[in-house]
A and B are shown apart, each in its own frame.
Chain A
Amino acid sequence: MNTPLRRVGMAMMVMILLLLGNATWVQVINADEWRKNAYNRRVLLDEYARKRGLITVADGTVIADVKETTDRLRFLRTYNAGPAYAPVTGYLSVTYGTSGMERAENDLLNGSDDRLLARRISALITGRDPVGGNVQLTLNSKVQQTAYDQLTAKGYTGSVVAIKPDTGEILAMASTPSYDPNLLASHDVNEQAAAWKQLTSKDANDPLVNRATQALYPAGSTLKVVVAAAALADGKNKDAQYTAKGTVKLPNTQTDLPNFNGTPCGPGETVSMETALAKSCNTAFGEMAGQVGANKLRRQAEKFGFNDPDLTVPLAVETSTLGPIPDEAALWQTGIGQRDVQITPLENAVIAATIANNGKRMQPYLVSKVLGPDLKPIDETDPDEVDTAMSTANANALRDMMIQSEINTGGEGRLQNVQVASKTGTAEHGAKPLENNPHAWYIAFAPAQKPEIAIAVIVEDGGDRGLGATGGKVAAPIGRAVMNAYLAGR
């Protein structure tokens, strides 16, 4: 009987080996599939049990903090000055997931990022709870707060982005209407649900959308700086002459392309590029775009950062595009930033910053440093020059034209003792542009000779001025206040 008994022994060992093999599959080789399954709440609960890292602004002020609690989820995320920073921080909610920086830097904040591996191991050995790393943003608290206050003071829906031209650091990123992320981070499920319902209701006007990166608008006249840059690159200079007519017909059509109020751009037949930009003449820029051609215009736009679907700051950024340009008429319309041109406020700020930085486009970014739980820096973002959009000479020429434009622009809050280079825009939108209140744009940088801040401002639907709104009246005062907040605090 011993031979069959030995075989039974072999069979038993085979059974145990099968179990071991299967356990290897489930727990080691294929473990990620089960671990990351949407139904697996263990990972989420683990993340909540771990002390999440903080989010701070450039001066070290904490904008996303954690508090220890006594309930099942051990730590509560709290947001200081929540609404002003909500578009950047996003929210962390047990039920509704994450958004903004909470999502983009989730691995680091919850401590599972590879850069924290050594610290996790040491925490394992010393028996302390592992904690997440901290994220230090490039945001300047004063500029951010000013931007948010300026937008909310008059109840505007819109966005402000400010960039440091020579590095690409994002100094401010505001979006209104905003929301209080504390409500979504609450451990009270009912409070979360009520807040979510209110924030996603129709009347709420999409507060959860970060308009700076997620909303696409027609660029309006602000795109004229891109057209001018393309024309300069094409060999023209600021004195190149274009039509001064109040209204022209789009090529091969009977459709009118009028200037603002149909006013002629100058006394003569033609005007210079400088005057056309300063007065924002549509007829001249339609013609200019027509002369440059669709390909060169598109290439210039791409050098400024258009058509970059992979851009993250590290928040995901919608792709700005010129849209299809099927014919000459479309090209002229595109030249004044209408038709199918779509741009994010962030991209428009990048354009201003690129011109300010002698034509060199810097990668925009929000995270300046990644710090370990012990506040020792473990990673730092280095400024990254991604493209040369313009030659230095052309950039300076365009800057000079934008200085003239600022002089020509109305609106309140002009900066004293600081020269500003800017361009306004009043972008028509919707099916019936003449009945919809236009979006008001303002892009600028200052001081013009040695720029330290570049901004883009958009106020949706004319702000408080209705159909009579212009970029200069509605958006420019906000932009100036934001630049002043930064320059005054140097």
Chain B
Amino acid sequence: MGSPTPAGEGSPGASVATNTSPGLKAPTRRGTELVMLSFAAGLVTLALILVELNQERSLSMRILYLGLAYLGLFACAHLAVRRWAPYADPAILPCVALLNGLGLVVIHRIDLALEGTVFPDGSVWDPVAFKQVIWTAIGLLLFAATLKFLTDHRMLARFGYTFGLVGLVALLLPGVLPGFIAPTINGAKIWLRIGPLSIQPGEFAKILLMVFFAAFLVSKRDLFTTAGRRFLGMDLPRARDLGPLFAAWGVTVAVMVLQKDLGSSLLFFGIVLVLLYVATERAAWVVLGLGLFAGGAVVAWKLFTHVQQRVANWQDPIARYDVIGGGYQISQSLFGLATGGIGGAGLGAGRPEMIPEANTDFITAVIGEELGFVGFAALLLVYMIFALRGLRSAIAVRDSFGKLLGGGLAFAVCFQVFIVVGGVTKLIPMTGITAPFLSYGGSSLLANYILVALLLRISAAARAPQRAAKPKPQQPAIADQHTVMVERPK
């Protein structure tokens, strides 16, 4: 990780300077962040210009204003970070700004392509780019509010169980509520419809449950590290300690059965596994968890037609091209990606509107088609930078809860990208999940902005110089130290 490292790491000299001289402050790198944000805004404006040109619309100063407005929006977010989390990681927000902006451009691009399209059911395409702009603004507000009111991420740990309960209810609610509040859309029952608003509570539940698991695992950490029997060179956990894992597995299966939401259940289970692994440092959990998941997946495949469909579409999309709910969508995605090739068709010059759900689950296929492999790879790398910067903060932060939560949040984004992009490119069966920050959808965007705020809060804690920087006494070498009594684990 070669990006600017916070003072106190890497070079011992800097560490001494930061911690001992009250006159020198650790660099906040907020200037770097602003420069990178401007760069992202410039890229997004350029992308918008390309789309307008390729769709043969007249260029006007309006685009420049849009670009400036976009920069202004993120400048506000930047100011919020500057004020409430000055030591936050400087690379994370620009990554988000770039992804969100590119998402807006692509959503607008699909709007242009489908403008005036009448669907078989008689409805006319409803442009959504403007709505997504509103959601972005609300998301950034929520982001700023989180930074303002959550002055220390450890505050969250106190409400761990409350969050867990709320999260569980939110996750399972659409599955159990009747159809008029929780309609089935595209085969999945994951929405709540309240008046004109449709929300996906699962997106928020993801974060709530992560907070709960992190808090729970930190407080009960010793319990899980207690060894059970050894088996095949691994320390197996004791049977009664398997409770949380089985609970998570149960929830996963419930989500899959009740809501037919394969993507979310996979994502959720993966996150729990990683949290368990990080907390216990035991590979056994991972092996056990993967075994459970594999078993569950096979059973689900045997029992449920929607799982069988997804697998069959994945194996040979062309053979099921004309089947309803068959391989049409994934085929169109692959056609687009392949036709885009290395350099892409050019933003606004391809035909991504042929892919159903081009502005939500399949938005990465649009980018692959129009920006080509080059743009697609760049997109994946932006996601990777985002996730690795998040993980870096988790490693650098001093408290266990922060480490666990930060690691979980970073992994969640990366794993979600893997699930959706893997599905779109036929690496794994398509499971129907949004691409973080790119896809159209308010719930996903809002939840992800909260996630970013949490990551920035953790990174700020990691990079901020410790307030009570007591001058450390010169420590003698370990060999010269006294032996001390260590308390036996309870």
Contacts and interface: CB of A to CB of B under 8 A. Distances in A.
Interface of A: 1-9, 11-13, 15-16, 18-20, 22-24, 26-28, 30-35, 37, 39-43, 45-46
A42 B278 contact: no
A277 B417 CA distance: 82
Given A19-B418, A23-B368, A39-B335, A1 B410 contact: no
Residue with the greatest number of chain B CB neighbours at <10 A, chosen from A7, A28, A40, A46? A40
Interface in B403-447: 403-404, 407, 410-411, 414-415, 417-418, 421-422, 425-427
A6 B422 contact: no
A1 B279 contact: yes
Nearest to B384: A16
19 contacts: A1-B278, A5-B403, A8-B278, A12-B388, A15-B418, A16-B383, A18-B422, A18-B427, A20-B380, A23-B373, A27-B372, A28-B342, A31-B337, A34-B335, A35-B338, A35-B339, A35-B341, A42-B335, A45-B351
Contacts of B394: 5
B69 to A, nearest CB: 28
B55 interface: no
3 cross-chain pairs, A with B, having the tightest CB-CB distances, nearest first: A34-B338, A31-B338, A27-B373
Given A15-B418, A39-B318, A45-B351, A28 B335 contact: no
A34 B316 CA distance: 12
B286 to A, nearest CB: 10
Mostly, the A contact residues are helix
Contacts, number: 129
B391 A12 contact: yes
Contacts of A20: 377, 380
Interface of B: 274, 277-279, 281, 318, 321, 331, 334-342, 350-351, 354, 368, 372-373, 376-377, 380-381, 383-384, 387-388, 391, 394-395, 400, 403-404, 407, 410-411, 414-415, 417-418, 421-422, 425-427
B351 A16 contact: no
Given A4-B277, A5-B278, A20-B377, A35 B335 contact: yes
Nearest to A21: B427
Contacts of A39: 318, 321, 331, 335
Given A1-B404, A9-B388, A23-B376, A15 B414 contact: yes
A16 B414 contact: yes
Nearest to A42: B339
A22 B425 contact: yes
A9 B281 CA distance: 14
A42 B411 CA distance: 36
Contacts of A41: 354
Given A4-B278, A5-B278, A27 B318 contact: no
Contacts of B372: 27
Given A3-B281, A5-B395, A19-B380, A12 B410 contact: yes
Contacts of B380: 16, 19-20, 23
Contacts of B411: 8, 11-12
Given A16-B380, A19-B422, 8 more contacts: A5-B278, A12-B387, A15-B417, A19-B380, A19-B427, A22-B426, A27-B338, A27-B368
Contacts of B407: 1, 5, 8
B281 to A, nearest CB: 5
Given A8-B277, A23-B377, A26-B425, A40 B388 contact: no
Mostly, the B contact residues are helix
Contacts of A40: 335, 338-339
B422 A22 contact: yes
Contacts of A4: 277-278, 281
Contacts of A16: 380-381, 383-384, 414, 417-418
B400 A1 contact: yes
A27 B414 contact: no
A32 B278 CA distance: 43
A425 to B, nearest CB: 51
Nearest to B372: A27
Contacts of B404: 1
A134 B388 CA distance: 53
Contacts of A1: 278-279, 281, 400, 403-404, 407
Contacts of A2: 395, 403
A13 B418 CA distance: 10
A192 B422 CA distance: 41
Contacts of B391: 5, 8-9, 12
A34 B332 CA distance: 9
A18 B395 CA distance: 24
A315 B439 CA distance: 49
Nearest to B278: A4
A405 B395 CA distance: 101
Nearest to A33: B338
A27 B279 contact: no
A24 B415 CA distance: 20
A27 B337 contact: yes
A7 B331 CA distance: 35
A40 to B, nearest CB: 4
A66 B399 CA distance: 71
B422 A27 contact: no
A33 B338 CA distance: 8
B278 A22 contact: no
Nearest to B334: A34
Contacts of B338: 26-27, 30-35, 40
Given A1-B279, A19-B380, A42-B350, A27 B341 contact: yes
Contacts of B373: 23-24, 27-28
A73 to B, nearest CB: 12
A1 B274 CA distance: 12
A297 to B, nearest CB: 51
A18 B388 CA distance: 16
B106 to A, nearest CB: 17
A353 to B, nearest CB: 45
A43 B376 CA distance: 20
B355 to A, nearest CB: 11
Contacts of B417: 15-16, 19
Nearest to B336: A42
Contacts of B339: 31, 34-35, 40, 42-43, 46
A12 B407 CA distance: 11
A12 B277 CA distance: 14
A5 B338 CA distance: 36
Nearest to A13: B384
Contacts of A37: 318, 331, 335
Nearest to B383: A16
B85 to A, nearest CB: 21
A20 B421 CA distance: 10
B384 A26 contact: no
A26 B337 contact: yes
